[in-house]
């Protein structure tokens, strides 16, 4: 396991994050306490230090398990959890981005996790209701209280993230250091706006769903009758299944598993994959991606199968004739760092 800095912070996190949405059987598909402990210990032995959780995962059981697992070794871990999603469907204030829900969710998480601070506290999803100033002020207060060290944002439009980050910078409040998104070979929409924005604003990126719900393991290429109906209907879109087939082909050429190929690809994009598993065997297979090297021909094959259509204005600005209008004859004569290079 190697480590990287999360965004423009000094926080060192492992190159793969352990997702804990599968810690607890409450939602019908997760691991019990014994299996969760086995996964946690396996990840720790591999050198992992970056845990992803949320206040609502398995109705709070995931945080409860982690509170027990972290006892006596809390400071060795980069512990992250999230607020925003509902913890009580009948209470309008038990969800969303408001200061009230932030406070209540944070206190609940701290009690369950048996800790007095969270390393990275994520806004889980944008609610389109709460004032951006309220959000960033409340997050900054959480940092100044000492209960939160860093803040991040997940599942939000790029324009929202940029606006919030700008407000924080202008007011001297704690900025986001991370962006969490769905990202995989089967979900490359973030390449339009979210990933370029994260690079420009100094946000480290973590990706949930790096296996696209199993599509990239090739299992949905099997007959529908052999796959859980509940899951099959969600993921068996023909275009996504074709991408899964390309992953299987590359895996066969490398003597690797499709999951390893899919995760290794995410890592080549300077994105930290979040791995969730139901068993230690699944986790071990995923961590095998750390040893996998994707050569240019493999990357080209995967890109050919999955490249997104970026649309306007990206495709427009990438045209040679438009480049000539924007830059004149000097475009190829100007040396710029990677973050400033035109398309």
- The residues carrying an active-site annotation are 57
3-state secondary structure the chain: CCEEECCCCCCEEECCEEECCCECCCCCCCECHHHHHHHHHHHHHCCCCEEECCCCHHHHHHHHHHHHHCCCCHHHCEEEEEECCCCCCCCCCCCCCCHHHHHHHHHHHHHHHCCCCEEEEEECCCCCCCCHHHHHHHHHHHHHCCCEEEEEEECCCHHHHHHHHHHHHHHCCCCEEEEEEECECCECHHHCCHHHHHHHHCCEEEEECCCHHHHHHCHHHCCHHHCCHHHHHHHCCHHHHHHHHHHHHHHHHHCCCHHHHHHHHHHHCCCEEEECCCCHHHHHHHHHHHHCCCCHHHHHHHHHHHCCCCCCCHHHHHCHHHHHHHHHHHHHHCCCCHHHCCC
């Amino acid at each position: 396991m190697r480590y990287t800095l999360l965004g423009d912070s000094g926080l060192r996190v492992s190159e793969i994050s352990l997702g804990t949405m599968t810690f607890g059987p409450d939602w019908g598909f997760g691991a019990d306490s014994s299996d969760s402990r086995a996964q946690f210990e396996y990840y720790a032995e591999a050198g992992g230090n970056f845990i992803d959780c949320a206040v609502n995962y398995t109705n709070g059981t995931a945080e409860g398990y982690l509170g027990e697992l972290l006892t006596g070794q809390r400071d060795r871990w980069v512990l992250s959890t999230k607020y925003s999603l509902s913890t009580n469907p009948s209470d309008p204030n038990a969800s969303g981005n408001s200061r009230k829900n932030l406070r209540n969710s944070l206190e609940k998480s701290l009690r369950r996790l048996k800790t007095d601070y969270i390393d990275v506290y994520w806004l889980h999803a944008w609610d389109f209701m709460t004032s951006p100033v309220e959000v960033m002020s409340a997050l900054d207060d959480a940092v100044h209280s000492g209960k939160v060290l860093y803040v991040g944002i997940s599942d939000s439009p790029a324009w929202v993230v940029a606006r919030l980050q700008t407000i924080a910078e202008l007011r001297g409040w704690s900025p986001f250091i991370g962006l969490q998104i769905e990202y995989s070979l089967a979900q490359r929409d973030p390449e339009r706006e979210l990933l370029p924005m994260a690079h420009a604003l100094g946000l480290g990126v973590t990706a949930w769903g790096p296996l696209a719900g199993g599509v990239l393991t090739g299992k949905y290429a099997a007959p529908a009758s052999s796959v859980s109906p509940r899951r099959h209907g969600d993921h068996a879109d023909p275009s996504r299944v074709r991408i899964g087939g390309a992953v299987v082909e590359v895996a066969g050429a490398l003597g690797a598993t499709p999951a390893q190929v899919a995760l290794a690809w995410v890592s080549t994009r300077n994105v930290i994959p979040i791995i969730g598993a139901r068993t230690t065997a699944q986790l071990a297979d995923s961590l095998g991606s750390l040893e996998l090297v994707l050569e240019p021909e493999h990357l080209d094959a995967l890109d050919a199968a999955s490249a997104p259509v970026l649309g306007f204005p990206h495709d427009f600005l990438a045209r040679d004739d438009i480049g000539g209008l924007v830059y004149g004859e000097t475009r190829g004569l100007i040396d710029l760092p990677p973050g400033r290079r035109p398309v």
